[in-house]
Amino acid sequence: SAMYQLDIVLKKGNNLAIRDRGGTSDPYVKFKIASKEVFRSKIIHKNLNPVWDERVCLIVDNLQEPLYIKVKLPLLFAVPLDVRLDLQDPHCPDQDLGSLELAVTLFPRSTEDREALRQNLRLSDLHRKSQLGRGIVSIRLIEGRNLIPMDQNGLSDPYVKFKLGPLKYKSKTIPKTLNPQWREQFDLHLYDEEGGILEISVWDKDIGRRDDFIGQCQLDLSKLSREKTHKLELELEEDKGMLVLLVTLTATVAVSISDLSVNLLDDPHERQQIIKRYSPLRWFFNLKDVGIVQVKILRAEGLMAADVTGKSDPFCIAELCNDRLQTHTVYKTLNPEWNKVFTFNVKDIHSVLEITVYDEDRDRSADFLGKVAIPLLNIRNSEQKAYVLKNKELTGPTKGVIFLEADVIFNAVKASLRTFVPPEQKYIEEEAKVSKQMLQQNFNRVKRCVLFLINVGSYINSCFQWESPRRSLCAFLVFVVVVWNFEIYMVPLSLLLLLAWNYFLLGKESREGSVVSVVMDVDSPDSEKKGFLDKLYAVQDVIITVQNALDEVACFGERVKNTFNWSVPFLSWLAITVLCAGSTLIYFIPLRFIVLVWGINKFIKKLRDPYIIENNELLDFLSRVPSDVQLVQYKDLKPETSQSPSKKRRNNPG
């Protein structure tokens, strides 16, 4: 029998029924054919007018079988049909439950029919119809003016929330001010052809209780011209202050989903057009449009069984920064085939493409099955590759592999320029949690960095100590030659030589077949067998070390401050004497000679006196300056009047 492909775009819902006590609902949509669920949308929380803009591709073999929304759709091949469905409850036929808006397109599945159809439709047209985003609004939050005070000190700790359809963004908090300077930039995708309404609210951050609402305003994006930056001064309602924004609307397409048969980059003509679009000579057009990445999510094998039946209902989510696309669910299998093509617009070539596999669970949130993270710069075009799925932290393998094929086309000049601007921040990030394992891991990472610096310092110091006469002599000659001939251009040149040297070593290692390994501290099965006391002691050791390190850093900063605060006048006068002498020397004697004399003295000190004790004069001086804690400890306390000895004698004459 004939097979058909039914493409449905679930757009939005209007005036849906209230089902929660708070006067809202958390709606999602299910499609059923022949009593079988074939699609379930994402949940839009607390919204009676949700915007989904989700696309689903269904395979049907009977055009007379109704799609479960209680309607039959009269469809023509390849002709999109916009449908508005009024929701009904059979038990309450007169009740108004709202409506849904969809766009439905029918295609034949047989090879002959599809080839005939494709002769009449260009691939680019099909691609444009599959677009989920209709552009980008770039927002720069500059400042706030004359916000109303919410705290007892007459100030506020303001931050701003933005909402455009289903997308949300929260700015950073600026403490203790009524005229905050945010200087923050972010992008939101347009899901409305007209632009939509940008909802803006300002809040006061409170610790330990609910944040206070300061004010709100709205911006109708449909009234702004595109491809132009608008400086807007938005008054908050009821004269509660003002926000200053820079808003730019661009027509850049954000993301799309299509079937393997409707593949943009597989068409030679379309691929050539995209390569031409991102050629280096066109770097001055729209600097944010760096490139395009297309990933084919083909299939997975050997997934983890999440259901009691020994099977899973896997679906896949692809994420690139704040773009997020989802495949359909393949039911009751550990070896699903999705065969979907996801297309993303690249704004930062250093972004990481994350592919996560979940098990759909109708009664609760989806179960995690595995994840892979692929930096865009690591992608080899048109190479089909099997990726081993990893755990949530991406530190170790889990069960199963996923087969992907990806292509990245980008403008190298734009990518280079974008490298020197702040990266795009994720709108939604997981909150940090207290973790013994993470604390230990981060401590060991810092410890390795510090040990590296200590080893470098020890190596340099060994040259001063003449532990190896040959090495010290070479170091001495290099020091004299470099200092005598030093020019400022030698600083970047030395870094360039370091990069070239490491590149040479890397090429040598790759030719010899060596493997570069990255050391990470993760819990192994053996570590899980440690007793509770061992883990407790390990955490205590980390905490004590961190505590002491923080104390040393704080003491160093406080001692520098107290030197200039005249906390100990003798030391401050001594600092003035040394600084005057140093300024005079540097004024009359070139710095090159001073450094040369210092270095020669450092090298020959050990030769003059083999038993000399090494020291650092600056640190020795600062060690004499008390920290803030020591100042409190050394401060005299005034005796209470009631406890003075003279009063005691008067009260006790005998």
- Burial group, residue 130, by CB count within 10 angstroms (0-12, 13-18, 19+): buried
Q: Using a CB cutoff of 8 Å and minimum separation of 24, what contacts does 376-379 make?
A: 376/293, 376/346, 376/349, 376/350, 376/351, 376/352, 376/408, 376/410, 377/349, 377/350, 379/293, 379/353, 379/406, 379/407, 379/408
Contact predicate 393/377, CB 8 Å? no
Q: The tokens of 3 are what?
A: 């097979």
Name the least confident of 560-569, 603-612, 621-630: 603-612
Residue 351 has pLDDT above 50, yes or no: yes
Q: Do domains 3-129 and 135-251 have the same CATH topology?
A: yes
Mean pLDDT of 647-651: 52
Note the CATH number of domain 3-129: 2.60.40.150
Residue 641 gets which letter from DSSP?
G
End-to-end CA distance of the chain: 121
Distance CA 260, CA 416 (A): 32
**In 382-525, beta strands by DSSP E:** 383-390, 397-410
Give me the phi and psi of 480, to 5 degrees please: -65, -45
Paired strand residues for 255? 344
3-state secondary structure 262-313: CCCCCCHHHHHHHHHHCCHHHCCCCCCCCEEEEEEEEEEECCCCCCCCCCEC
Q: Supply the pLDDT for residue 551.
A: 84
Distance CA 644, CA 452 (A): 58
Query: Which SS3 state, helix, strand or coil, does residue 588 take?
Result: helix
- Burial group, residue 338, by CB count within 10 angstroms (0-12, 13-18, 19+): buried
Q: Supply the pLDDT for residue 202.
A: 94
**In 109-180, beta strands by DSSP E:** 136-145, 158-164, 167-170
Confidence label for 4 from pLDDT (cuts 50, 70 and 90): low
Q: The tokens of 474 are what?
A: 């070479």
Would you tell me how many other CB atoms lie within 10 Å of the CB of residue 556? 15
272, 295, 298: which is closest to 352 by C-alpha? 295
Residue 149 gets which letter from DSSP?
P
Question: Which distant-in-sequence residues (6+ apart) come within 8 Å of 463 by Cβ?
Answer: 471, 472, 475, 476, 603
Distance CA 18, CA 25 (A): 5
- Burial group, residue 82, by CB count within 10 angstroms (0-12, 13-18, 19+): exposed
289, 262, 263: which is closest to 277 by C-alpha? 289
Confidence label for 514 from pLDDT (cuts 50, 70 and 90): very low
Mean pLDDT of 190-207: 82
Distance CA 266, CA 270 (A): 8
Domain assignments of the chain as residue spans, ordered by start? 3-129, 135-251, 268-419, 436-504+541-634
Q: How far is CA 425 from CA 138, 316, 610, in A?
A: 13, 23, 56
Contact predicate 274/327, CB 8 Å? no
Condensed to tens digits (0 to 9), the pLDDT of residues 113-134 reads 454 444 444 333 433 333 444 5
Q: The tokens of 194 are what?
A: 């007209």
Q: How far is CA 370 from CA 42, 297, 326, 456, in A?
A: 20, 14, 15, 41
Mean pLDDT of 449-478: 88
Torsion of CA 560, 566, 570, 576, to 10 degrees: 70
Distance CA 127, CA 135 (A): 15
Q: How far is CA 654 from CA 507, 649, 650, in A?
A: 95, 9, 9
Note the CATH number of domain 268-419: 2.60.40.150
Note the CATH number of domain 135-251: 2.60.40.150
Condensed to tens digits (0 to 9), the pLDDT of residues 148-164 reads 999 888 999 999 999 98
Mean pLDDT of 565-569: 88
Paired strand residues for 340? 259, 297
Question: pLDDT > 90: what percent of the chain?
Answer: 17
- Do strands 242-250 and 255-259 pair parallel, antiparallel, or not at all (unpaired)? unpaired
- Do strands 181-189 and 197-204 pair parallel, antiparallel, or not at all (unpaired)? unpaired
Q: The tokens of 130 are what?
A: 């599959």
Distance CA 163, CA 428 (A): 13
Q: The tokens of 643 are what?
A: 């406890």
Condensed to tens digits (0 to 9), the pLDDT of residues 240-299 reads 999 999 888 865 544 555 666 556 677 788 888 888 888 888 877 777 788 889 999 999
Mean pLDDT of 509-521: 54
Mean pLDDT of 374-391: 91
Distance CA 205, CA 188 (A): 24
Condensed to tens digits (0 to 9), the pLDDT of residues 37-66 reads 677 777 888 888 888 888 777 766 665 556
The position carrying tokens 């439950």 is: 97
Q: The tokens of 190 are what?
A: 């347009």
Distance CA 428, CA 42 (A): 16
Query: Looking at per-residue confidence, does 634 or 114 come out higher?
Result: 634
CA 53 from centroid of its chain's CA atoms = 24
- Do strands 337-346 and 255-259 pair parallel, antiparallel, or not at all (unpaired)? antiparallel
Contact predicate 180/174, CB 8 Å? yes
Q: Supply the pLDDT for residue 76.
A: 46
Would you tell me how many other CB atoms lie within 10 Å of the CB of residue 124? 13
